[in-house]
Structure 1
């Protein structure tokens, strides 16, 4: 978690630098696509900051000091549910920015394009491409062990930004090359055309993240987890002679939430608390995945209404 926070902090700083350069160079060069890249980076930095805040809340709540105790007393269910909300907001914001930029690109093309100072544009694109490659490489290497959704989304954002920078660099070099030729009229359309193409590529990219986050916000049961829990519960019912069971599962951020209710026959011979606890331990081991991120509840009742 602390490595995650360090990377996100560095990522925010780098993104803010790229955003500031994008806005400044966009104004100097007259490039809508560079200005869009700066605004896109600014929005990404804001969302990464929100992700860092959620990550820090999770870390602080796990500590053993008095402040952490007060946090746990106020948020007894933890903070895992904030992760998919942040990811959903992030994905929707990036798609919205890209759609707006695409509309502006189409309007600019219809109006005949505009002049562009290619020298400043090329300098910005090259510098931004280097920063994006470095940050994406660091994130990929770090996330091989952390498996963080926040870092994964941030890596995707850096790759997307790097793709934008590379496309801009190629387009601006081509635009500069055609200026002394009879095809110089093309140069006026380079900026809006490349902006439109970049937006068309970018808009679908966060869709997978949006759908995954939305399914977690809506507590849609993951098929693989549901099938595994159903198998363990069915075997337990058959092995111990229970009547049936009810299983409720969900993945919310890093947390796996499982509630299992076993319907036992009325008049079942009494067991000690220790025996019931041992049975819960056995079922929990069969389900697997025990960690601080697993929320497992196992209950036994003769009244099926308690399980509904």
Structure 2
């Protein structure tokens, strides 16, 4: 028996992505303009990163709307399998941008550095970081209702933006103190070095998310912790209805989680009617209500382990 319970809120997901797009568009224009005016490769990268976020957000918005429309003929198991594909390509583009920025920073250092007005750069970064923090907190709050992998990826990108902004403010502040202490030669290399440090700090996040998305695309098992939590949630029900053994298989794809539970019972099982077994299924389903994902739950009864192994 299979049951598909909808948890994700597509309306809130759509609203979250739209607000992210407009916020990123503002920061991209602000950052690119400031980057050219201040001749700062880091500020320019910040603006380009925001512009890339706009493109990715539009991509997520259109993809999210497509996934919301049901098409049981072409996608009998739902379109949620497309979500990790979208997330993978989102973070792949972010990863490539980070690599490009790192290589560009190395070239700048090899060519003798690039002096910038630290005071103006710190001012820009402070304003940008504050705006990003406000947007991040708002979208994070909104995502509690959206419960969407695309919305979560969007919020994560804003978190990275905040980290990058705060780290840059601190780094440029330290560099400003070094120059104030008469280390003027440092000034030419502050911008590319800060860009390299931020890239090295951020690059692990897209790599981590790409690996997770790849695992979901391949239908690999979820974390051991989740497996244990689900087993504990249904353990009381399994014991109450005299089940000899249980086989549990879990696979997560985007906002959809597949749960297959095979219950090994005696040949003369007391609860052998369809109505009684449906009651057990309902209780197992209720015990798993805490899961944030959309559930595709299968509960099967068998007296022969061959059908469960």
What TM-score, normalized by structure 1, do the two folds share?
A: 0.78
Q: CA deviation at 1:180?
A: 10
Query: Structure 2: how far apart are the matches of 1:84 and 1:55?
Result: 12
Higher RCO by CA contacts (8 Å cutoff, separation 6 or greater): 2
Q: Secondary structure at the match of 1:22?
A: helix
Structure 2 unpaired stretches of 5+: 1-8
Tell me which residue corresponds to 1:299.
300
Q: Secondary structure at the match of 2:80?
A: coil
Q: Secondary structure at the match of 2:204?
A: coil
Instruction: Kindly indicate whether the alpha-carbon contact (under 8 Å) linking 2:143 and 2:152 is maintained by their aligned counterparts in 1.
Output: yes
Instruction: Kindly indicate whether the alpha-carbon contact (under 8 Å) linking 1:95 and 1:202 is maintained by their aligned counterparts in 2.
Output: no
Point out the more displaced range, 230-239 or 191-200: 230-239
Query: Structure 1: how far apart are the matches of 2:200 and 2:108?
Result: 16
Query: Structure 1: how far apart are the matches of 2:164 and 2:139?
Result: 18
Q: Secondary structure at the match of 1:74?
A: coil
Task: Provide, for residues 217-272 of structure 1, a one-character-per-residue CA deviation record: whole Å limited to 9, x for no partner.
Answer: 34323323322444566666665555544321123332221112234445668944
Query: Structure 1: how far apart are the matches of 2:259 and 2:229?
Result: 11
**Is 1:6 aligned with 2:25?**
no
Tell me which residue corresponds to 1:202.
202
The correspondence of residues 130-209 of structure 1 with structure 2, limited to 5 A, is 130-168=130-168, 183-209=183-209
Query: Structure 2: how far apart are the matches of 1:60 and 1:245?
Result: 35
Tell me which residue corresponds to 1:248.
249
Query: Structure 1: how far apart are the matches of 2:229 and 2:163?
Result: 39
Tell me which residue corresponds to 2:46.
37
Tell me which residue corresponds to 2:63.
54
1:84 to 1:175, Cα distance in 2 relative to 1, 3 A = same
Query: Structure 2: how far apart are the matches of 1:73 and 1:40?
Result: 39
Instruction: Kindly indicate whether the alpha-carbon contact (under 8 Å) linking 1:242 and 1:264 is maintained by their aligned counterparts in 2.
Output: yes
Count of paired positions:
299
Point out the more displaced range, 292-301 or 234-243: 234-243
Query: Structure 1: how far apart are the matches of 2:280 and 2:163?
Result: 54
Q: CA deviation at 1:182?
A: 6.2
Structure 1 unpaired stretches of 5+: 62-70
Query: Structure 2: how far apart are the matches of 1:103 and 1:146?
Result: 37
Q: CA deviation at 1:11?
A: 0.8
- RMSD of the TM alignment (CA)? 3.6
Query: Structure 2: how far apart are the matches of 1:73 and 1:46?
Result: 30
1:168 to 1:248, Cα distance in 2 relative to 1, 3 A = closer
Tell me which residue corresponds to 1:98.
98
Instruction: Kindly indicate whether the alpha-carbon contact (under 8 Å) linking 1:108 and 1:192 is maintained by their aligned counterparts in 2.
Output: yes
Instruction: Kindly indicate whether the alpha-carbon contact (under 8 Å) linking 1:222 and 1:251 is maintained by their aligned counterparts in 2.
Output: no
Q: CA deviation at 1:106?
A: 2.3
Q: Secondary structure at the match of 1:257?
A: strand
Q: Secondary structure at the match of 1:73?
A: coil
Instruction: Kindly indicate whether the alpha-carbon contact (under 8 Å) linking 2:244 and 2:265 is maintained by their aligned counterparts in 1.
Output: yes
Query: Structure 2: how far apart are the matches of 1:253 and 1:174?
Result: 42
Q: CA deviation at 1:297?
A: 0.8
What TM-score, normalized by structure 2, do the two folds share?
A: 0.77
Q: CA deviation at 1:174?
A: 7.6
